[in-house]
Homo-oligomer: A and B are copies of this chain.
């Protein structure tokens, strides 16, 4: 019996839930897709608009993913060559495997984004049609349509990591790679996911806001027509954009998070595997397979959660319905995680279980903090709305102040979660006295917390994609002239969707920050593996190069955000010109006698988004490489660490600041703002105009730069992980 056959049983045992629940989740996604697609497609008017959105979405996906894959192939080859040159053993094999793993990660990320978005843009019209029968059916379709994306992302991510692991290990047949070494070989997969996510989120973010800002500035302000008016040539591009950013973009973001964090945690597990004895046929390898198993049970919990949301036709509190499903998912995750820790891990089951609880609680904390800062019921949004009374300047000052303030509570949450899970992990008796293992055990504690947080990801992503589906459904209802009752339903769901989108961003940034430490540690492990010496995990910021690395990491976040925000401005400018041109050349459009050329606007959005994502994209990839190559690994570690801290905080500022501006506008539109005499200052008031300015400023914050920063943070981690051999 060869070595790899000997320990097959134990590994198969751990692989089993991943395969079973992974396949189940894919089947479930297909079932949901079929279920949604079988539903009523609504009136011909609705179908017409939906078809235009669909066409636009496919046009975007084709062009965007073609570009990404050409870039990916170039990067894969370059990276493979570099790794092959700089690695110190099995050079050719490592180079090839890294390239192929990279392509696999890129491909699966692209695939799950593609299918998820395909179903999402098919679900919108069905949601609009179902809205004719009440809020319950519409809510169910939108959630299930969104869940397709959620489950594909998580299942393909999990199974992809397992598959790459299995192939590498198999291929190695005990010659090249061992159980313990394989996780280091597959980091290319996570980088592939990061690579696609960077461009999907950046391109998607630019696309969606260029269309939105462009449509608004010409339509609402210059031409004086309402939002979602079919006379506006940019309206279809705007509706396509909702999917592009929140469905495809966020899906790629979460695909990246989950795969990077799982592979990072597997790398961390290696140290504990070795400290426990390092017998590949025993439960020792649980340390390495743990993240995969937890992820698999997270899928199960999320499936149950989705199935739990079965409202009747009348729903009083649609957000409550979605929350019900989330609580079921979180509750089951809590139970599963505890059982897994206690039965699977050879040591410290209780300590690590509590770490997992901390992770789940952290996700709740982030969700509540996000709500506090971005929902109209609390002080921050009210403050911005009040400030709108004295005009746009005070609205902006107030919004920026709120945005900056929103970093406080999340930072405290992260600090508490990180330190407590680290100390719990460190306290596991079995590793006491083994200096390195104690540290690894502590960091593994933070990894378990991260995994706990990730368990609900499929459900969270379903709620997120619920957003663009209901948003589109509202647009379709509006544009097809559906009766008021239908629009009331879609409006209500749309507002719920705005909340879920904001919460998902909070969740994404929370998981990114909790994972920061684990990915950083994985990088140090990789440096140790490569250099072959114990560097005792010291990254000394008292060294000038490390300080400079940190400075550059922080600066990268600012400059990247600047480029992302500017990209929206420039792409929106292209859109504005095109809309003006159409209005000028065909007066029939405004008169309602001729149909505008929607397709051209979609096309322009696609092209501008592709063009504008290049500068920030190139910056994000080259700066870490330059720092690592010129200033070496310790400086790269400083860059990674400080870049992550600043990136997380800046993402929080941009996401929450943008969300707060958005909802301050909605607060005013809902008639909650009153002047000193008690008169309502609603739509059409000066205060409303000021709030619209704030909302527009917030658009590129919350939908372009903020989410792109999530991706940037993890890209920094995966790129340094993959290219570590160049930095020593």
- Residues of A at the B interface (CB closer than 8 Å) are 213, 217, 221, 387, 390-394, 396-398, 400-405, 407-408, 411, 414-415, 418-419, 422, 442, 446, 517, 520-521, 524, 537-542, 544-548, 550-552, 554-555, 558-559, 561-563, 565-566, 568-569, 572, 576, 637-638, 641-642, 645-646, 649, 653, 692-693, 696-697, 700
Contacts of A697 in B (CB 8 A): 393, 396-397, 400
Residues of B within 8 A of A541 (CB): 539, 541, 546, 637-638, 641-642
Q: Chain B's nearest CB lies how many Å from the CB of A664?
A: 14
Q: Beyond A402-B562, A693-B391, is A542–B551 a contact (Cβ under 8 Å)?
A: no
Are A442 and B397 in contact, CB atoms less than 8 angstroms apart?
A: no
Contact of A649 among B419, B547, B558 (CB under 8 A): B558
Q: What's the Cα separation between A404 and B294 when bound, in Å?
A: 40
Which of A442, A637, A642 is most buried by chain B, counting CB atoms within 10 A of its CB?
A642
Do A419 and B554 touch (CB < 8 A)? no
Whether A569 contacts B401 in the complex (CB less than 8 A), given A442-B544, A517-B544, A555-B408, comes out as yes
Interfacial chain B residues near A411, Cβ < 8 Å = 551-552, 554-555
Q: B693 contacts A392, CB within 8 Å?
A: yes
User: Which residues of B have CB within 8 Å of A544?
Assistant: 418-419, 422, 442, 446, 517
Cβ of B540 and Cβ of A390 under 8 Å apart?
no
A217/B415 contact (C-beta < 8 A), A405-B562, A642-B645 known: no
Bound CA–CA A545/B555 (angstroms): 23
A256 to chain B minimum Cβ distance, whole angstroms, is: 22
Ranked nearest first, the 4 interchain pairs of A and B with the lowest CB-CB distance are A404-B562, A393-B696, A411-B555, A405-B562
Q: How many identical chains are in the complex?
A: 2
Contact B568–A397 (Cβ < 8 Å): yes
Give 16 pairs: A residue, B residue, CB < 8 Å, sorted on A. A221-B391, A396-B396, A396-B693, A397-B565, A397-B696, A397-B697, A403-B562, A404-B565, A411-B555, A415-B551, A419-B545, A419-B548, A442-B544, A538-B538, A539-B541, A542-B637
Q: Chain B CB within 10 Å — which of A521, A638, A649 has the most? A: A649
Is the beta-carbon distance between A520 and B548 smaller than 8 angstroms? no
> How many Å from the CB of A724 to the closest CB on chain B?
15
Q: Are B407 and A565 in contact, with the CB atoms below 8 A? A: no
* Shortest Cβ distance from A516 into B: residue: B547
* A394 contacts across to B, CB distance below 8 A: 217, 569, 572, 696
Which residues on the B side are within 8 Å of A646 (C-beta)? 554, 645-646, 649
Q: Give me 15 other A-B pairs in contact (C-beta within 8 A), A221-B391, A392-B392, A693-B693 excluded.
A: A217-B391, A397-B696, A397-B697, A401-B562, A408-B559, A411-B555, A415-B551, A418-B547, A419-B544, A422-B544, A520-B547, A547-B641, A547-B645, A554-B642, A554-B645
Residues of B within 8 A of A539 (CB): 540-542
Which of A540, A542, A561, A566 has its CB near the most chain B CB atoms (within 10 A)? A542
Q: Which residues does chain B contribute within 8 Å of A645, judged by CB atoms? A: 547, 550-551, 554, 642, 646
Nearest B residue (CB) for A521: B542
Closest Cβ neighbor of A559 among chain B residues: B408
Most buried by B among A393, A422, A653, A700: A393
Q: Closest Cβ of chain B: how far from A412's Cβ, in Å?
A: 8
Complex CA gap A576/B386 in Å reads: 14
CB neighbours (8 Å) of A545 from chain B are 419
A391: chain B residues at CB < 8 Å are 217, 221, 693
Distance in angstroms from A357 CB to nearest chain B CB is 18
**Closest Cβ of chain B: how far from A393's Cβ, in Å?**
4
Distance, CA A545 to CA B418, complexed state (A)? 9
Q: How far is the CB of A380 from chain B (nearest CB, A)?
A: 11
Chain B nearest Cβ from A444, distance in angstroms: 12
Taking A391-B693, A524-B542, A551-B415 as contacts, is the C-beta distance between A559 and B405 under 8 angstroms?
A: yes
